[in-house]
Amino acid sequence: MIKSFIKIEGLVVFLASIYLYYSNHFSWLLFLILLLVPDISMVGYFINKKVGANIYNVFHSYSIPIVLYVIGMMVSVQTLVMVSLIWIAHIGMDRLLGYGLKYDSDFKDTHIQRI
């Protein structure tokens, strides 16, 4: 049940961020180009599992992109709003697909499931 809830939540976040992106008339080409950029955070796994999990989790937590979105809206910096919406969409997409925050025991150990 919890896994299904997290996937549904990911779908809602993914669709909401796409709607906000669309509402702001941002470039869809940039959306497609930047959508997978947060996955670059997996390079931390070249150091070790603990560093890899920590870096991955920083880039796959909603906290930073939501704060950046709010700041972007407050100071009217459209680039910041655009990047944060793409970042939020990425995280929502990952949750929808069953990818979660990582435990440092293994890349496949997540807060949702073992991949």
pLDDT for the residue 114: 58
Helices within the chain (DSSP H only): 2-23, 28-34, 49-59, 63-75, 78-96
Give the end-to-end CA distance of the chain in Å, rounded to a whole number: 17
Q: For 8-39, how does the pLDDT look when each residue is reduced to its tens digit (9 = 90+)?
A: 999 999 999 999 999 999 999 999 999 999 99
Q: Which residue has the higher pLDDT, 9 or 3?
A: 9
Task: Calculate the average pLDDT of the chain.
Answer: 94
Question: pTM score, two decimals?
Answer: 0.92
* β-sheet bridge partners, residue 114: 109
Give the number of C-alpha atoms closer than 13 A to the C-alpha of residue 43, restricted to the C-beta side: 4
- Burial label for 67, CB within 10 Å (0-12, 13-18, 19+), is exposed
Tokens standing for residue 102: 């990582």
